[in-house]
Amino acid sequence: MTRAVTQANATLYRTLWRWHFYAGLMVMPLMLVLSVTGALYLFKPQVERWEERAFQSLPIDRAGSPNAQVDAALAAFPGSRFHSYRLPQQVGDAAMIHLALADGVGMRDVFVAPQGKVVGSLDPETRIMAIDHDIHGQLLLGPRGSWLVELAASWAIVMILTGLYLWWPRGKGLAGVLWPRLHLGRRAFWRDIHAVTGFWVAGLALVLLVTGLPWAGVWGDAFRMVRQQFGLVQGAQDWTTGGKAATEGVAASGGEHAGHDMSGGGIHAEHDHAAMLRMQASGIALPSLAQIVAKAQAEHLAFPVVIVPPGAPGRFGAAPEMAWTVRSDAQNRPLRATLRYDMATGQEVSREGFADKHAIDRVVGYGVAWHEGALFGWVNQLIGLLTALMLVTLVVSGFILWRRRRPDGVLGAPPVARMPTRMRGVLALTLLLAVLLPLFAASLILLWLVERLLLPHMPRLSHWLGVQPAAR
């Protein structure tokens, strides 16, 4: 009985080892890219502050009005249209005026000094964090890239779970389990580095993967539809899915990749000021931008604070609002707030904070803030950086282990277990993951079809992959 149990455990171990190997093979290259780009994105506030360094610490004497700043930005780019005004982060910083260029396609972040002089401009699509966020979320491939990232994240969960089973101590000491054995030679060193690092990073990595799923194209759309079906939606969704707005139509304001802000709070949608012009022509004195700026400054909202004029589309493609909108786009989602002021009187008409959102949105918001390293300030950033470094260590050590163990002429997958595998618990877990991770389920079906229909007719490829071809 004991021998049978031992053989069954050995068979299970070898089977999960193969799963871990193939999951790592699929995940490791993308995990390296996502770890590096994600680590950079953790420091988005610092990077953007550095990127805008030439527009800071400017003289504040003889400062003009926000209206004059907007006029200067529009004059610098003839034919452009005003989309939003970002309040300076500190006294002496330039205001950022977000414009739609005359070609109807391009956008520009224009920085205007307190005195009303244009001191520089940036293309929001080529800013450091915009490029980094596009690589991290879509691999610069658009929606298809988002699917690849989601597929990698799904298999990464499998890799972590199978890795924990392989790591699990079986009557051994803690050396090589909780800390590496540095005196046993290179082979044991790299094995221990891989196993020990995998254990310490497993929980943090799972949190990152799970909190990233609401942004993913397939998973995020399914999540949204389920919420709508059960009436669990309250207000506009505060993150994108697959790099697109959750609603059809106009592009999302703020340009977030799966929740990431690309342009420092700028607006990326065309809007019409016809309603405002009609009211002005009728002699109605409308509140000026300067008045709304003064109200926004008095609120002391978390940076970046964006003021959107009436007629601009709502956040993430919502219908245009006939009101002045003051919005904090802070990366720390619990600090966000949106205030609206009547376009004719300037009186506050609504106020929405994080506490006013649906409970599910608040949970996702906390997860997004953690994912972006913003929930606990620099401590959160350092934890995220440490997680990224450990994931890179996993990739490097896993590659070295594979290269050292791989025989010539084959991929080097662990051999197939000879005994039939009995894994009811593992099968149940696999089915659960397949239900929760649609792309994982689709990839499992595809792999099963390839193994059943193609590999039996390709013995050389089967041998190279370490898969025994089916008997004819």
Q: What is the pLDDT of residue 184?
A: 81
Determine contact, residues 228/235, Cβ cutoff 8 Å.
no
pLDDT band, residue 36 (cuts 50/70/90): very high
Q: What is the pLDDT of residue 251?
A: 34
Helix or strand (DSSP H, E) at 338: strand 337-342
Determine contact, residues 338/325, Cβ cutoff 8 Å.
yes
Partners of 244 in beta bridges: 241
Average pLDDT over residues 26-36: 93
Q: What is the pLDDT of residue 245?
A: 64
In this structure, what DSSP letter does residue 214 have?
G
Give, in order, the Cα–Cα distances in Å from 428 to each of 214, 431, 435.
24, 5, 11
Q: How far apart are CA 37 and CA 224, in angstroms?
A: 26
DSSP codes of every residue in 9-26: HHHHHHHHHHHHHHHHHH
Mean pLDDT is lowest, of 161-165, 184-188, 255-259, 276-280, for 255-259
Q: What is the pLDDT of residue 280?
A: 52
Phi–psi pair at 162, nearest 5 degrees: -70, -35
Helix or strand (DSSP H, E) at 383: helix 378-405
pLDDT of 29 > 70? The answer is yes
How far from chain centre, in Å, is Cα 455? 37
The residue that leads in pLDDT, 135 or 232, is: 135
Cα-atom radius of gyration of the chain, to the nearest Å? 27
Q: Taking CA 302 as the corner, what is the angle to CA 299 and CA 306, rounded to the nearest 5 degrees? A: 80
DSSP codes of every residue in 176-211: TTTB--TTS-HHHHHHHHHHHHHHHHHHHHHHHHHH
Both tokens of 305, joined, read 């604070």
Instruction: Count the neighbouring beta carbons within 10 Å of the beta carbon of residue 335.
Output: 18
Angle between helices 2-41 and 378-405 (to 10 degrees): 130
**Residues above pLDDT 90, as percent of the chain:** 56
Both tokens of 349, joined, read 């008409």
Mean pLDDT is lowest, of 109-118, 236-245, 394-403, for 236-245
pLDDT band, residue 287 (cuts 50/70/90): confident
Q: Where are the alpha helices (DSSP H) in 354-377?
A: 359-371
pLDDT band, residue 285 (cuts 50/70/90): low
Phi–psi pair at 374, nearest 5 degrees: -110, -10
pLDDT of 257 > 50? The answer is no
Counting Cβ atoms within 10 Å, is residue 436 exposed (0-12), middle (13-18) or buried (19+)?
Answer: middle
* Three-state DSSP state, 405: helix
Q: What is the pLDDT of residue 232?
A: 85
Average pLDDT over residues 191-195: 92
Counting Cβ atoms within 10 Å, is residue 168 exposed (0-12), middle (13-18) or buried (19+)?
Answer: exposed
Model pLDDT for residues 457-472, shown as the tens digit of each residue: 898 888 888 876 444 4
Give, in order, the Cα–Cα distances in Å from 429 to each of 19, 425, 448.
13, 6, 17
Instruction: Count the neighbouring beta carbons within 10 Å of the beta carbon of residue 59.
Output: 10
Q: What is the pLDDT of residue 372?
A: 96
pLDDT of 173 > 60? The answer is yes
Q: What is the pLDDT of residue 11?
A: 78
Residue type, 240: T
Q: What is the pLDDT of residue 256?
A: 43
Mean pLDDT of the chain: 85
Determine contact, residues 160/202, Cβ cutoff 8 Å.
yes
Q: How far apart are CA 317 and CA 200, in angstroms?
A: 41
Q: What is the pLDDT of residue 258?
A: 35
Average pLDDT over residues 344-354: 93
pTM, rounded to two decimals: 0.86
Mean pLDDT is lowest, of 86-100, 336-350, 422-436, for 422-436
Instruction: Count the neighbouring beta carbons within 10 Å of the beta carbon of residue 222.
Output: 16
Q: How far apart are CA 468 and CA 461, in angstroms?
A: 10
Give, in order, the Cα–Cα distances in Å from 426 to each of 13, 48, 138, 161.
11, 46, 31, 10
The residue that leads in pLDDT, 391 or 255, is: 391
Look-up of token digits 């440490």: 386
Q: What is the pLDDT of residue 171?
A: 67
CA neighbours within 13 Å on the CB side: how many for 360? 15
